[in-house]
Chain A
Amino acid sequence: MKVLVVDDDPIICDMMADILECEGYPICVARNGMEALKLLRSDEHYLVFLDVMMPVMSGKDVCEQLETEPHVRQQHIIILMSALDKLEEVTSCKVEGIIPKPFVVEDVIEALEPYMQ
């Protein structure tokens, strides 16, 4: 299972990559929801760190789109990364976890570990 980081902010993406590389996980990056969907529709299984606020296609939109594609959805683990004040907006999304921003490394590791054994 690969880790997919979806964020429009290159700083965040870089940081996530640095963290996960140090932990020894394979990682790939998408800059928005649209790019992410392309990857998710492949055969690969991903654990997705999905940012909510993104241009082109937001994390929420991605979740809603995946509801209509259950066979795609069931291949992946999705963890939303959302600003604290936007948490309410995403509680309706059926996802495996939510990490509030800003986060620390432990948040990411804790969210990831149960699925990456």
Chain B
Amino acid sequence: MSTAIWGESETQSDENYPLSLLKNLLQQMMEQFTAQGACLALYDENIRQMVIRLHLHTHISSPSSVANNIEDIVTVPLNPRKAPGITRPLNPSASALGRMRRLSKPLPPLDPVTLQPLPSQTTLFSLGEAYTFGQGLIGTAWRKNEPIVLRSDEYAAAHPVDSQPLAQNERVPGCYLAIPIQDPPMLSPQSTQPVQPMQPSTQRPQNMLGVIVLYQTLPGVGFQQTQSDEALLWAERFGLYLQNDRLQHSQTRTNDYMKRLQQISTAFPSDVILSKLVENVYQFVTAVVPISSMLLTFYDRDTKKIYDIFAIDHGKRLEGLHEQPVIAQQSDRPCWWHVTQEQQSTLLIPAIQQEPESVQQYEELLKGTWGDQSSAESFLLLPMKMFTRVVGSLSLASMCPDAFSAEDILALETMVQQITVGIENAKLYDRANQSVKKARQREESLAAMNSALLAISSVLNLTELLHKFVETSAKLVQAGLCTFFQLTPDREELVAQAIYDSTGKWKDATQTGSREKHDDLIEMIRLPFHNSLLAEMVEAGSFFYLDTMMLEELAQASGEGGAIFLRETHSHKMLMIPVRYQTEIVGILAVHTPWQDRVFRPEEVSTLLAISSQAASAIRNAQLFEQIRDANAELKRMDKLKDEFIVTASHELRTPLSAISGYASLLKRQSSRITPQQVLRYGTKISGATQQLIDLVANMTEAAKMGAIDKKLELQVGPVQLLAAAEIASTMLSINIEQKIIMHIDPQLWVTCDALPLRQVITNLLDNAAKYSPPTGQIVITASETTLSQLPEGQVDYGKLVNGEDPEVVLVRVRDEGDGIPLEDQEKIFEKFVRASRSLTTPVRGSGLGLYICRRYIEAMGGKLWLEMSVPGEGSIFSFYLPRMEAPPIES
């Protein structure tokens, strides 16, 4: 039995075999039975024969000293793979030692074992000799299972093969006693095994452990049949010894299994390195069974693939398999599928070479990633079962026939079960870990996004907001360059409003050092939107990428700033996210991919989308806030203007009122004394003042009627002869001016407009000129025909210059020789209620509404009105133009 010791190897030591104990026992038995020789054959499971393990005999030279001159022959168990009958020394040095110590010893105590010289010298019961069931004396005792006493002649007759010629100094035993050693009936470990691998029916009675043979060489001395019972008692002692030993071994082995299994199990799930686990499995397997090849296969239920992750082919490891497993589909491995997933049981082929049909049947399992194992002697496939689910398999091949004992298989199954649980745990652990990790990442990115959104939402300053927006976006996805383009109100262009540039690419492209200049240049970056590919793509989806070709196409359609931006920043790909407020496009966020060919991950894009939509409403809010703020400031300004107007107006109203009231009371007071001439004079004064009041009130009403600056005025546009309009206007002057009015107007000049407002405008300009000019000054009004493009810069309405048209206009100038208008007032004078700042202290009358009303009228009639020139002390020129038209045919 002990030959089947687990972990049996070439270098097996004496410790696995209680030889010294057995020898002692055998020696004692010899003494008891006064035998001159004794040998012990033990059952060898591997060859299923009885093999002689121990042979003691007394020296023949001195019969009197039998007890003191026992030579013993000890050897090691046979290598089961060697042919029976060939013995081997324990090792060379031990043999040499034995040879030197070949001496007689008194008994007891028995000193260190003395080894017989090479067993070849011993012909009788030589060590290592094996006996089959029923062969020879030993085989007979085995078969009969009872003590046999034989005399030498009987022996020779019964077993002629054994009766070989003896070597020198050897004597033919006179009598033999063979006693079978039965296994003590209790505690047979095999009987508790649940799995019984298929084994050929044993030729040995179940409980036979070995056979003891005692012999006597001294003539006349023999064994009595009566000694049989006593011999059986001795045999029982042997049996107990052997069983005890076996139990000890089995316990040691179990402990070892346990230890190794524990090692494997402690590796999980905290240490989830699969390669390490696989290594542990391999170590365990090689320690348990003599394998030549091993294959570890996993089945991934989720993706329905089969992975070979570890393979040993005839002792050679397949490198790199762990990193890059061999992947197969279920359909590729029907046999594997059948065995693991359907049968779900251990498959053992104990002797492949004797079962060609098995090789055929299981060819798929024997060949593959781990090479060709069809030349192996035994094969074992262990499914890795998790409840009813099989997650993989462990395939083992051994060059030894019947290499997997039931006990080993049990250990391997336990181990496989354990690693299966371990792997599943590891998977779960890994999954849990990953989802925790993912959740944490998500949480982090959400937190980052949240704080970014907060930062964006809390800013009401649009510029600051946009800068924050691009910076946050860039940082969230580690982009080097991020730009926000705002769509112009006419949807023609996208104008860069903010750039975040961590790479310095833009700075390099513009070659500017200072931040101010850098910021100034930003608005130069303009991309076409209307009718461009951007407009198409914006409609197509929530985001898109511009590739190199599209970038170039766009660059060609862009102005200089846009082209520099698109070309010089060396972007290979640009992520464009339309920023929408509800359905309305506010602008586009352009994110440069950080390096070539990188596309943002979906999470990054969705982060950008989220932040963009938030930014859209923030931008909207900021815009509204700015509008409200501007409107509020405008309201405040208007309020102030209104107050000023009231002051002005009351002053302006008061003067004519004073005159009216003064003259009226004068008339009353002096009614009896005044002359008709005086009455006429006073009456004229009163009506003049009244007219002034009427004009003022009319102006105010008119301005009020015009309403908001963007309100469209209702006009009756038609052909108007400019000269006629100017002549009428000069007669309508509200004050009697002292200055001379000179007109240089061609009667052929006609304009398209409403005649009444035109007259009013000219009157107003003449009035103003008169008010601000010294009495000796001249007021000159001129008109000339020109085209729109010839007008001074700033006054050209470029919207009317499209399609190569250059409309003809009439330019009218009113020049005075007044004080001029202070620079700070030159634009303001056209606003409502505003007059040149000194006007309150000048003798100039007016509502502060004249120029405002004029400009409104001229613009409503398709022209423009502006202060062309104003030089302090020399005078001012007010100019306006109106669309020119051909003189209509003169009506008869």
If A55-B841, A83-B651 touch, whether A18 touches B658 (CB-CB below 8 Å) is no
A residues 84-117 touching B (CB-CB < 8 Å): 85, 101-106
Q: How far is the CB of B681 from chain A (nearest CB, A)?
A: 7
Q: In the complex, what residues of B have CB within 8 A of residue A101's CB? A: 654, 658
Bound CA–CA A73/B628 (angstroms): 56
Bound CA–CA A101/B682 (angstroms): 19
Q: How far is the CB of A26 from chain B (nearest CB, A)?
A: 18
Q: Is the CB of B685 within 8 A of A102?
A: no
Q: Is the CB of B841 within 8 A of A9?
A: no
Q: In the complex, what residues of A have CB within 8 A of residue B843's CB? A: 8-10, 31, 55
Whether B81 sits at the interface, judged by CB under 8 Å, is no
A residues 21-70 touching B (CB-CB < 8 Å): 22, 31, 53-55, 58
Q: Is the CB of B662 within 8 A of A22?
A: no
Q: Is the CB of A19 within 8 A of B666?
A: yes
Nearest A residue to B736 by beta-carbon distance?
A: A10
Q: Is the CB of A12 within 8 A of B659?
A: yes
* Chain A: number of interface residues, binned into ranges: 20 to 34
Bound CA–CA A64/B723 (angstroms): 52
Nearest A residue to B843 by beta-carbon distance?
A: A8
Bound CA–CA A55/B681 (angstroms): 27
Nearest A residue to B692 by beta-carbon distance?
A: A11
Q: How far is the CB of B26 from chain A (nearest CB, A)?
A: 144
Q: In the complex, what residues of A have CB within 8 A of residue B659's CB? A: 11-12, 15
Q: Is the CB of B654 within 8 A of A22?
A: no
Q: Is the CB of A55 within 8 A of B665?
A: no
Q: In the complex, what residues of B have CB within 8 A of residue A12's CB? A: 655, 658-659, 662
B residues 653-690 touching A (CB-CB < 8 Å): 654-659, 661-663, 665-666, 668-670, 673-674, 678, 681-682, 685, 688-689
Bound CA–CA A31/B774 (angstroms): 14
Q: In the complex, what residues of A have CB within 8 A of residue B647's CB? A: 85
Bound CA–CA A55/B651 (angstroms): 14
Bound CA–CA A12/B665 (angstroms): 14
* Cross-interface CB contact of A55 among B656, B663, B669, B842, cutoff 8 Å: B842
B residues 873-891 touching A (CB-CB < 8 Å): none
Bound CA–CA A19/B840 (angstroms): 26
Q: Is the CB of A85 within 8 A of B658?
A: no
Q: In the complex, what residues of B have CB within 8 A of residue A11's CB? A: 655-656, 658-659, 685, 688-689
If A18-B666, A102-B654, A105-B665 touch, whether A54 touches B841 (CB-CB below 8 Å) is yes
Q: How far is the CB of B350 from chain A (nearest CB, A)?
A: 124
Q: How far is the CB of B126 from chain A (nearest CB, A)?
A: 147
Q: In the complex, what residues of A have CB within 8 A of residue B252's CB? A: none
Q: How far is the CB of A111 from chain B (nearest CB, A)?
A: 14
Bound CA–CA A74/B838 (angstroms): 32
If A11-B656, A53-B840, A55-B842 touch, whether A18 touches B663 (CB-CB below 8 Å) is yes
Whether B650 sits at the interface, judged by CB under 8 Å, is yes
Q: How far is the CB of A23 from chain B (nearest CB, A)?
A: 9
Bound CA–CA A58/B842 (angstroms): 11
Q: How far is the CB of B673 from chain A (nearest CB, A)?
A: 7
Q: In the complex, what residues of A have CB within 8 A of residue B668's CB? A: 105
* Cross-interface CB contact of A15 among B662, B670, B838, cutoff 8 Å: B662
Q: How far is the CB of B801 from chain A (nearest CB, A)?
A: 45
Q: How far is the CB of B277 from chain A (nearest CB, A)?
A: 99
Q: Is the CB of B650 within 8 A of A104?
A: no
Q: Is the CB of B842 within 8 A of A103?
A: no
Bound CA–CA A23/B622 (angstroms): 70
Q: Is the CB of A15 within 8 A of B841?
A: no
Q: How far is the CB of A21 from chain B (nearest CB, A)?
A: 9
Contact residues of B: prevailing secondary structure: helix
If A53-B651, A105-B669 touch, whether A18 touches B841 (CB-CB below 8 Å) is no
* Cross-interface CB contact of A105 among B655, B666, B673, B681, cutoff 8 Å: B666
B residues 815-849 touching A (CB-CB < 8 Å): 838, 840-843
Q: Is the CB of B654 within 8 A of A104?
A: no
Q: How far is the CB of B654 from chain A (nearest CB, A)?
A: 5
Of A12, A58, A103, A105, most buried by chain B (CB within 10 Å of CB) is A105
Q: Is the CB of B650 within 8 A of A103?
A: no
Bound CA–CA A83/B678 (angstroms): 28
Q: Is the CB of B841 within 8 A of A53?
A: yes
If A15-B663, A55-B842 touch, whether A85 touches B650 (CB-CB below 8 Å) is yes
Nearest A residue to B844 by beta-carbon distance?
A: A55
Bound CA–CA A19/B663 (angstroms): 8
Nearest B residue to A9 by beta-carbon distance?
A: B655
Q: Is the CB of A83 within 8 A of B650?
A: yes
Nearest B residue to A21 by beta-carbon distance?
A: B678
Bound CA–CA A12/B663 (angstroms): 10
Q: How far is the CB of B863 from chain A (nearest CB, A)?
A: 34
Contact with A along B213-257 (1 / 0, CB 8 A): 000000000000000000000000000000000000000000000
Q: Is the CB of B666 within 8 A of A14?
A: no
Q: In the complex, what residues of A have CB within 8 A of residue B674's CB? A: 22
Q: Is the CB of B661 within 8 A of A102?
A: yes
Nearest B residue to A8 by beta-carbon distance?
A: B843
Q: Is the CB of B650 within 8 A of A15?
A: no
Q: Is the CB of B685 within 8 A of A14?
A: yes
Q: Is the CB of B841 within 8 A of A58?
A: yes
Bound CA–CA A90/B656 (angstroms): 23
Bound CA–CA A105/B674 (angstroms): 15
Q: Is the CB of A103 within 8 A of B655?
A: no
Q: In the complex, what residues of A have CB within 8 A of residue B841's CB? A: 53-55, 58
Q: In the complex, what residues of B have CB within 8 A of residue A106's CB? A: 665, 669
Nearest A residue to B663 by beta-carbon distance?
A: A15
Q: How far is the CB of A112 from chain B (nearest CB, A)?
A: 13
Q: Is the CB of B662 within 8 A of A19?
A: yes
Bound CA–CA A85/B841 (angstroms): 16
Bound CA–CA A9/B845 (angstroms): 9
If A8-B843, A15-B658 touch, whether A104 touches B665 (CB-CB below 8 Å) is yes
Q: Is the CB of A102 within 8 A of B658?
A: yes
Of A31, A54, A83, most buried by chain B (CB within 10 Å of CB) is A83
Q: In the complex, what residues of A have CB within 8 A of residue B681's CB? A: 18
Q: In the complex, what residues of B have CB within 8 A of residue A8's CB? A: 842-843
Bound CA–CA A55/B771 (angstroms): 13
Q: In the complex, what residues of A have CB within 8 A of residue B666's CB? A: 15, 18-19, 22, 105
Q: In the complex, what residues of B have CB within 8 A of residue A55's CB? A: 838, 841-843
If A19-B662, A19-B666, A83-B651 touch, whether A102 touches B657 (CB-CB below 8 Å) is yes
Bound CA–CA A105/B660 (angstroms): 11
Bound CA–CA A54/B668 (angstroms): 29
Q: In the complex, what residues of A have CB within 8 A of residue B665's CB? A: 104-106
Nearest A residue to B657 by beta-carbon distance?
A: A102
Of B656, B662, B670, most buried by chain A (CB within 10 Å of CB) is B662
Bound CA–CA A15/B661 (angstroms): 10
Nearest B residue to A83 by beta-carbon distance?
A: B654
Q: In the complex, what residues of B have CB within 8 A of residue A15's CB? A: 658-659, 662-663, 666, 685
Q: How far is the CB of A45 from chain B (nearest CB, A)?
A: 25
Q: How far is the CB of A104 from chain B (nearest CB, A)?
A: 4
Bound CA–CA A103/B662 (angstroms): 7
Bound CA–CA A69/B661 (angstroms): 36
Q: In the complex, what residues of B have CB within 8 A of residue A102's CB? A: 654, 657-658, 661-662
Q: How far is the CB of A86 from chain B (nearest CB, A)?
A: 9
Q: How far is the CB of B741 from chain A (nearest CB, A)?
A: 20
Bound CA–CA A69/B437 (angstroms): 94
Q: In the complex, what residues of B have CB within 8 A of residue A9's CB? A: 655, 843
Q: In the complex, what residues of B have CB within 8 A of residue A54's CB? A: 841
Chain A residues with CB under 8 Å of chain B are 8-12, 14-16, 18-19, 22, 31, 53-55, 58, 83, 85, 101-106
User: Mind listing 21 A-B residue pairs with CB under 8 Å?
Assistant: A8-B842, A10-B843, A11-B655, A11-B689, A12-B658, A15-B658, A15-B663, A16-B662, A22-B674, A22-B678, A53-B651, A53-B840, A53-B841, A55-B841, A55-B842, A55-B843, A83-B651, A85-B650, A102-B657, A105-B665, A105-B668
Closest A-B pairs by Cβ, 3 of them: A102-B658, A105-B665, A15-B662
A8-B843, A12-B655, A53-B651 known; 9 other A-B pairs, CB under 8 Å? A9-B843, A11-B656, A12-B659, A15-B658, A15-B663, A22-B669, A22-B673, A22-B678, A101-B654
